[in-house]
Amino acid sequence: MRQLYATLYKLFLVPHIIMYLRSSNKADIDKDIVRWAKAKKLQKGNIALLLDFLVDSPDFRTIFYFRNRGVFSQLLNLYCRKEKYFRIDMSTKLGGGILTGHPYSTILNANTIGENFYVNHLVTVGEIEGKRPTIGDNVSINTGAIVIGDISIGNNSVIGAGTVVVKDVPDNCVVVGNPGRIIKKDGKKIDKK
């Protein structure tokens, strides 16, 4: 029965396909689709995958509507709702290939977030006195982490669960704790001093 419902629901999503095909952000949406498909071990064409993710993932819808802002996407959101507790600030520049892990109560408010970003639930990326973080490519931010202020998170870095980051993080680091401290850089453990 669920399969029948999903198939019928996809008919209502035809306007989303049109929006996708005409989107100025189609390249980034394609990267999102590919990343989600790889994570879910799915192999289909991008339109079929798009429909699957729109049906099953309110967080994917949030990203899709973020990339296609305007009156049309607001109308589509009336019957194909985005995740209301996952927010991306409209001025954030978001690279392609974002993947979420159940981003309930997650806020992304950064200057830029690079390609292949992963974010989990209860994460806050935010500002202090109007100054926001800049996040590089291939960064993962895990459950409950807070990344705030005028800081940079380097490429290929991992922010551990519950970590509070208020200082710059270089490339290729693993950061944990409150306050956040680097425990691994370039694949090598950092000795405590």
Range 27-41 average pLDDT: 97
pLDDT band at 57 (very low <50, low <70, confident <90, very high): very high
- Flag whether pLDDT at 48 surpasses 90: yes
Q: Cβ(154)–Cβ(133) under 8 Å?
A: no
**Distance between CA atoms of residues 39 and 24, nearest Å:** 25
Q: How many CB atoms lie within 10 A of CB 192?
A: 6
- Flag whether pLDDT at 11 surpasses 90: no
158 burial type by CB count under 10 A (0-12 exposed, 13-18 middle, 19+ buried): buried
Break the chain into its structural domains and give their ranges.
2-76, 86-180
Cα distances from 145 to residues 56, 62, 106, 108, 110, in angstroms, run 26, 20, 10, 12, 14
Count of positions (residues) in the chain: 193
Q: Are strands 164-165 and 158-159 parallel, antiparallel or unpaired?
A: unpaired
Q: What is the pLDDT of residues 106-141, one digit of tens each?
A: 999 999 999 999 999 999 999 999 999 999 999 999
pTM: 0.93
Q: What is the pLDDT of residues 73-103, one digit of tens each?
A: 898 888 889 999 999 999 999 999 999 998 8
Nearest to 56 by CA among 36, 27, 34, 76: 36
Nearest to 23 by CA among 40, 55, 3, 46: 46
Cα distances from 28 to residues 95, 114, 128, in angstroms, run 7, 11, 28
Q: What is the pLDDT of residues 166-193, one digit of tens each?
A: 999 999 999 999 999 999 999 888 876 5
Chain mean pLDDT for the chain: 94
Chain-centroid distance of CA 21 in Å reads 21
Nearest to 90 by CA among 68, 105, 75: 68
Prior bond of 58 cis (ω within 30°): no
| pLDDT of 79 | 85
CATH number of 86-180: 2.160.10.10
